[in-house]
Structure formats: structure tokens, C-alpha cells
């Protein structure tokens, strides 16, 4: 496998937010947002993830979201369907459905150890069953509930990455642990970092791409940091990293409400989170606006594709 499915040498993808109207998915607004993102430096859309409010969506809504994005996107950017399913049987069935509907990749979250039960061999058994059944490349994501925890050992992830079908691995926030993991990955598996504040250290660790919600706002800035690290210009990379940390920290602290309001500031039709999640307060909106100004996002012209 290579990067042929991505327009950019350094892929920058983002979890795609779901717009709502009167608490119903607004597919028209979603389509217009996809059209707007397709004119930016974003490499792909990740559907059915936390940033898309996956736990507030039905399966039918997730399928229709994918159908909408496939139709509007028209092959211009990669489409990645998210799977967060501890059963390998159900994960395989979902992957087949997403592939048939036009997804280019599936992003599979490594299940928590408690998902396997007392008689299971664990996470390696899960992927040894699942991956050989799939006809679509897989992007692994390691995202434990607690930042210092892990749901699989570095050795297990290294073995999983060697199974045919694994395209990339999205590292967790635990960089001490991930340095060991990255050293054990298959050379055929790409390494992506996971967070706007961790673009610089992620690139230093070996990441050559990223999957992060900050990329919805400014994918060009994200790619610039990784590109500068790869070319050895650490001082300039650190400078850009420092300027975006306030906006990224605020966004991660406030979650989908901040993600959507930031997009609304940039002219997208992101609307507000689905209930019961609350939108930002007036004071929080002012704070995010200031964070955008310091990051250079407001007034920053994203590179046209």
C-alpha cells in the first residue's frame, strides 16, 4: 500500500462534525461543509467518530452520513469510516457495509482489555480474526480512556501492524509509551499523530501524518508543522506549534461545542451539538475567538488544493 488514496504526501485528516437542525441530522448542511473542506488543505474525512458525535447517532444516520459524504466528495478526498466495536464479528460486518457504501478506509479503535472476557486471548486474537476478512485498508487508533493507560502492549500492536491490511497507526497521548510502540511497528505501517498540541512531538517521534479535530480548522498549519520537522527546521516548527496550543487546548477542553463554534466562525454550517451536549456560552465563544486570533486561524488563508 502507498499514499495513492491521499492527495497529500503528509495526510492530515479530521473527524467530521455532524450538523443538526432541530436535533435532526442536516444532510444538506453536511454536504455544503464537505464541499467547502474539499477546497482546503484537508486530506480526508473521518466519519462516525467522537468529533462527529458518534454516540449520539443511530446506525441508519451513520450510513446516510457516509452516503452523503461519498456523493458530495466525488473521490476528491479520502473517506475513513470509524468503527468502535469490541466484537470482531460486528466490526467485520460494519467494515463490509462501509466498504460497499464507498469508504476508502476504516478506522478501528483498539478495544479495551475488559471487552474480551476471561476466556479470550485478547487484542491480538481480535485483530487476527478481523483483519483477514476485510477488503478495505485499516487505520488503527489507540485511544485509552485514561491518557497514561494502554489497551494493548507495544509488542501486541507491533504484531497487529504486521497483519496484511493495516495501513496506518494513530498513536495515543502517552508519548513515553508510544516511542516504544513506534519502534516495533511494521515498516509498511504509517504513523500518525493524534492531537493539535502534539504535532511537533508526534513528528519528532516519527509521525508522517495526523488525525485530529484541529485539522477541521486549519489543516495547512498542521501539515506545516510536520513538514518542517521532517525537513529539520525544528525552530520554525516549534514556533507554529506554540501559537496554536491555546486554541487546541481550549477546543479539546470544551469538545464538540468548541469544534462546531470554531467552524461556524470560519464560515461552515456546523450548527451546535446534539442534545444533551450544550453549546458554548457567550464568554466561551469570546475566548475561542481570541484563541483563533492568537493561532492565526482567523485571517489565515488555508492553502487551496
249 falls within a domain: no
Note every long-range contact of 93-102, with CB atoms under 8 Å and residues 24 or more positions apart, other chains counting.
Answer: 95/130, 95/133, 95/134, 95/136, 95/138, 96/134, 96/135, 97/63, 98/66, 98/136, 99/134, 99/135, 99/136, 101/63, 101/66, 101/67, 101/70, 102/66, 102/67, 102/70
250 falls within a domain: no
Instruction: Find out whether 80 and 44 touch, Cβ atoms under 8 Å.
Output: yes
The three cell numbers locating residue 134: 476485510
The three cell numbers locating residue 20: 443538526
274 falls within a domain: no
Cα–Cα distances in Å, from 44 out to 47, 232, 245, 287? 10, 26, 23, 28
**Domains in the chain, number:** 1
Q: How many CB atoms lie under 10 A from the CB of residue 123?
A: 21
299 falls within a domain: no
214 falls within a domain: yes
Degrees, nearest 5: CA angle 66-57-96? 45
The residue segments making up the domain with residue 93 are 3-233
203 falls within a domain: yes
Tell me the pLDDT of the chain (305 aa) as tens digits: 334 578 789 999 999 999 999 989 999 999 999 999 999 999 999 998 876 677 788 999 999 999 999 999 999 999 999 999 999 999 999 999 999 999 999 999 999 877 766 556 789 999 999 999 999 999 999 988 766 678 889 999 999 999 999 999 999 999 888 999 999 999 999 999 999 999 999 999 999 999 999 999 999 999 999 999 999 999 999 999 999 999 999 999 999 999 999 999 999 999 999 989 999 999 999 999 999 999 999 754 433 33
- Give me the CATH number covering residue 113: 3.20.20.70
How far apart (Å, rounded) are the C-alpha atoms in residues 24 and 139? 29
The three cell numbers locating residue 18: 455532524
Amino acid at each position: 500500500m502507498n499514499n495513492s488514496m491521499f492527495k497529500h504526501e503528509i495526510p492530515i485528516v479530521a473527524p467530521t462534525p455532524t450538523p443538526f437542525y432541530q436535533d435532526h441530522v442536516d444532510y444538506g448542511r453536511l454536504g455544503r461543509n464537505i464541499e467547502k473542506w474539499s477546497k482546503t488543505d484537508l486530506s480526508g474525512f473521518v466519519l462516525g467518530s467522537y468529533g462527529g458525535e458518534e454516540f449520539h447517532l443511530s446506525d441508519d444516520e451513520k450510513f446516510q452520513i457516509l452516503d452523503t459524504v461519498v456523493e458530495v466528495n466525488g473521490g476528491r478526498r479520502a473517506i475513513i469510516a470509524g468503527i468502535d466495536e469490541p466484537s470482531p464479528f460486528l466490526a467485520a460486518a460494519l467494515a463490509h457495509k462501509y466498504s460497499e457504501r464507498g469508504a476508502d478506509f476504516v478506522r478501528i479503535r483498539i478495544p479495551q482489555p475488559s471487552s474480551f472476557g476471561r476466556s479470550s486471548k485478547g487484542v491480538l486474537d481480535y485483530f487476527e480474526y478481523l483483519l483477514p476478512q476485510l477488503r478495505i485498508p485499516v487505520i488503527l487508533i489507540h485511544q485509552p480512556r485514561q491518557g497514561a493507560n494502554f489497551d494493548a502492549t507495544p509488542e501486541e500492536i507491533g504484531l497487529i501492524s504486521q497483519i496484511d491490511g493495516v495501513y496506518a497507526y494513530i498513536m495515543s497521548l502517552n508519548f513515553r509509551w508510544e516511542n516504544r510502540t513506534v519502534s516495533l511497528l511494521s515498516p509498511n505501517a504509517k504513523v500518525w499523530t493524534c492531537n493539535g498540541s502534539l504535532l511537533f512531538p508526534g513528528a519528532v517521534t516519527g509521525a508522517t501524518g495526523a488525525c485530529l479535530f484541529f485539522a477541521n480548522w486549519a489543516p495547512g498549519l498542521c501539515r506545516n508543522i510536520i513538514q518542517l520537522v521532517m525537513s529539520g527546521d525544528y525552530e520554525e516548527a516549534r514556533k507554529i506549534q506554540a501559537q496554536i496550543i491555546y486554541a487546541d487546548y481550549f477546543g479539546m477542553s470544551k469538545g464538540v461545542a468548541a469544534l462546531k463554534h470554531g467552524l461556524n466562525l470560519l464560515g461552515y454550517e456546523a450548527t451546535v451539538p446534539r442534545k444533551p451536549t450544550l453549546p458554548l456560552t457567550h464568554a466561551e465563544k469570546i475566548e475561542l475567538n481570541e484563541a483563533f486570533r492568537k493561532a492565526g486561524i482567523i485571517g489565515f488563508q488555508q492553502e487551496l488544493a
